[in-house]
Amino acid sequence: MRIAIIANGEWDSVWGRTKLREEKFDLLICADGGANLALAAGIVPDVLIGDLDSATQDTISKCEENKVRIIKYPSEKDETDLELAVNYAHSYMKGQPEKEILLYAAGGKRLDHLLGNIAIMLGSAQKGLKFIMVDKDYRAWVMLPGRDTIAGAKGQSLSIIPLSEKAEVNTHGLYYELNNLVLWQNSTRGISNVFEQTEIKLEVLQGCVLIMQSF
């Protein structure tokens, strides 16, 4: 099962319209002001969730006209609107063998929200959920101990950023190979590596990392 979530961060409406129409989703959720972005791109969500302080009245009216499920929370709450959207996605996918969330418009604007979004991605990864932040210029996801094969293009940039105090990683196919290398949370060592092949292999031996693949 695949669910798309649109947050209220930076968004290219032309790219977004094309991307969302190309992809196949079982559900499209908008976190509050993300519904403004979706409707501006000509996309009607299935669910609008949040305290609705960012969604315009015109957006809310259009969602009501299109029978969008609207779930409103009080402004004084413990979670961000995006976390509420992710929690809804988790409950919706409960019991499904394969689960994937694609997150759009989750970068830019506010640094605190960006860091919070990465924390949400980490929590989802710890629950065994595949969660990918997608942008016009990059895609990013959290990786826990294990192995992965990443497709790309020669010369493409790949950053491996530790989210834990330290992370030990192995790679094959990058310009700067990491052989049982320990990356530290207070260092920039893993930023801006480069694809040497069209497919690279990455293994996280301990810790957790944020992977960012630039396009």
Residues of the chain with pLDDT under 50: none
What is the reported pLDDT for 98? 82
Sheet bearing 146-151, strands edge to edge: 146-151, 199-206, 166-172, 181-184
Those residues whose C-beta lies under 8 Å from the C-beta of residue 130, and which sit 6 or more positions away, are: 99, 100, 101, 141
pLDDT tens per residue across span 32-49: 999 999 999 889 999 999
Q: Are 25 and 46 in contact (CB under 8 A)?
A: no
Largest CA distance in the chain: 56
Buried b / exposed e over 39-51, threshold 16 CB at 10 Å, is bebebbbbbbbbb
Q: Are 7 and 117 in contact (CB under 8 A)?
A: yes
pLDDT tens per residue across span 43-93: 999 999 999 999 999 999 999 999 999 999 999 999 999 999 999 999 999
What is the reported pLDDT for 173? 97
- Dihedral of alpha carbons 160, 166, 171, 177, sign: positive
